[in-house]
Every structure is written in structure tokens, then in C-alpha cells.
Amino acid sequence: MHVITTAAEFARFRTGAACPVGLVPTMGCLHEGHLSLVERARRDNATAVASIFVNPAQFGPNEDFSRYPRTFDRDCRMLKQAKVDAVFAPAPQEMYPQGYDTWVEAGGITQRLEGAARPGHFRGVATVVLKLFNIVWPDNAYFGQKDAQQAMVIRKMVRDLNLNINIITLPIVRDESGLALSSRNSYLSREEKAAAGRIPACLKLAEKMLAGGQTGAAAIREELARFLEEEPLLRVEYISIAAPDSLEEVETIDRPALLSLAVWAGSTRLIDNTILAPVRKDSPGQ
Ligand code: AMP
């Protein structure tokens, strides 16, 4: 496995690489969620590439950039075991040298949900992903549904800027308690982790309410907030039930909607989501 730290060195690797090339962009501290993307990239492509870059441009000034977990040697061992051909792991200076000042804005959808809660976040994400695409030249790139809005932003950028790259989104990988795997789970104390079990439980609760005939988005949001905040270690930042294409909030769930949320467990911010699909009432005889 090649471990490459500069764009120039990657260009040399890329010249001799067999196509198709698949890219899995990550910020490291890898877990089974990342590996599900890497394994798929390995299966689909002649050359599988993962990037590891904790991107300063997507963190707000009061966010966890400096304490974000960095486990590079362990990550490389995992990627080698997954038979990745090359890891691209640049230093911040390589991606944002002195005077760097070009940014990608993916418009309306970046202003909602995570974008509203974390101003500038998606500008940083879209910019670094475009740079990674231009360095790696992948045919296929793999993203997790865990960051549903991020995957939408990348798809929009690819469409709007005519990038010739297939974007593949893969399902959320969860631990045995149902908690979505995340590098940030490593911040959680035992008590916070137990409390965070309410997050996947509340997604199930929403599905149950909908199956029981409750289609009002406001009623579901209120019930979920109540359920989450019954647990003193949790604080809801937002709960959204939105159209999966525009991310506009819906009043009634009469077609599939994206339920997404951001919840603090102590000082750790966690996100999760699921698609809520209403039961069809058009069976014969009705
Ligand atoms: P990150 O390292 O957090 O930037 O994540 C890198 C990629 O892995 C993103 O496309 C994430 O959506 C994806 N990812 C993170 N956690 C999970 C998970 N639990 N299941 C599936 N994909 C994930």
C-alpha cells in the first residue's frame, strides 16, 4: 500500500494506476462504517484509494478540529488489511498553502440542517472534496448515508460542475446498541454512550408513530424531542423532517421524508438520520 502525502506524488501514482479508480474520502479514526465504504470501493474498482485528511476548512472556530481523534498508524493498518492500493494523507499546508482562497459553494441545500447549525461547514466540505477529486481523479467516490446532507451536497456539486464521477452512497453502519458509528463516539463517557442509545431508539419511535397513522411532522418532532430530553445527558440541537431532495421541512409525511437530527451527548455532538416512508393506503378494497 502506497502512503502518499503530496498531490505531485499522487499524480505519479495515478499515471500508472489501473482504472477504474475508487476513492473513499475520510478524516481518519476509522471504524466499520468507513470500512464498509472501503470494502465496496475495493470490490468495484481496479484501484482503491482512501484519503485521510482532517479538513480544517469544515470546522467552525469553536468546534473540535484540534482535538479530533487522529489514529494514523492504526488507520493505515486497517486500510492495508482491506487491500487498499493507496492512502492519500496530505498535511493541511499541502491542501491550503499560504494564500489559498478559492471556495466551492453548493447553494441552497447547504444553508439548511447541518449548514444552518455549522455555518461554512459545507463550503469546507465541498472545497476539500473537489480538491481530492482533482488530485485523485476517481471514477467512483463513496460516501456514507450517515452524513446524508453531505452526500447530497457532493452529488449537487458533481452535477452542477459536470464532474465525471459516480457518487455511491452506502447505508449507516451501527453498533450493537444501534448507535451510528462515528469517530466522535470516542469522546463519549460510558454514561453518555448509554444515553446516546436513545438516538437510534427515537428513529424507531418515529417509524412506529408513522406506522400507527401519525403523519404530522410537528407531532412526531415534539414526541422525539421529549423522548430524547427525558435523558438528562442529551440536548437536542435540531430534529428535522424534510423532503429528501430539497431538504425543505414537510408538514405531513405523505411521501418518503428524511428524518435527521443533531443531539449533544454531554459535550459531544452526534448526528443520525433515517428515511421515513409512509405506509401505502391504496391496497385493494380501500
Ligand atoms: P468522516 O471520516 O467522518 O469524514 O467520514 C468519512 C465517510 O465515512 C463519510 O462519507 C461518512 O458519511 C462515512 N461514514 C461515517 N460514519 C459512517 C457510518 N456509521 N456508516 C456509514 N458510513 C459512515
pLDDT by residue (tens digit) across 196-209? 999 999 999 999 99
Q: How many angstroms is it from 34 CA to the middle of ligand 1?
A: 5
Q: How many angstroms is it from 179 CA to the middle of ligand 1?
A: 13
Report the nearest atom of ligand 1 relative to the CA of 34: 8
Phi, psi angle pair for 259, to nearest 5°? -90, 120
* Mean pLDDT on 85-100: 98
pTM over 0.95: yes
* Mean pLDDT on 2-8: 98
Percent of the chain with pLDDT over 90: 97
Asked if residues 93 and 7 have their Cβ atoms less than 8 Å apart, the reply is no
| Closest CA to ligand 1's atom 13 | 144
26 lines ligand 1 (CB under 6 A): yes
Q: How many angstroms is it from 215 CA to the middle of ligand 1?
A: 30
Alpha helices in the chain (DSSP H): 7-15, 32-44, 72-81, 92-95, 113-117, 121-136, 148-160, 190-196, 198-211, 217-229
Q: Mean pLDDT across the chain, nearest whole number?
A: 96
Grid coordinates of 200: 437510534
Taking the C-alpha atoms of 94, 79, 142 and 200 in order, what is their torsion angle to the nearest 10 degrees? Answer: -110
pLDDT > 50? residue 286:
no
55 lines ligand 1 (CB under 6 A): no
* pLDDT attached to residue 282: 62
pLDDT > 70? residue 155:
yes
| Closest CA to ligand 1's atom 12 | 144
- Is the previous residue joined to 97 through a cis bond, with omega within 30 degrees of 0? no
Active site residues: 34
pLDDT > 50? residue 145:
yes
Handedness of CA 211, 199, 33, 167 (dihedral sign): positive
pLDDT > 60? residue 284:
no
Asked if residues 262 and 148 have their Cβ atoms less than 8 Å apart, the reply is no
180 lines ligand 1 (CB under 6 A): yes
Angle (CA) 176 182 187, round 5°: 100
Percent of the chain with pLDDT over 70: 98
Amino acid at site 267: S
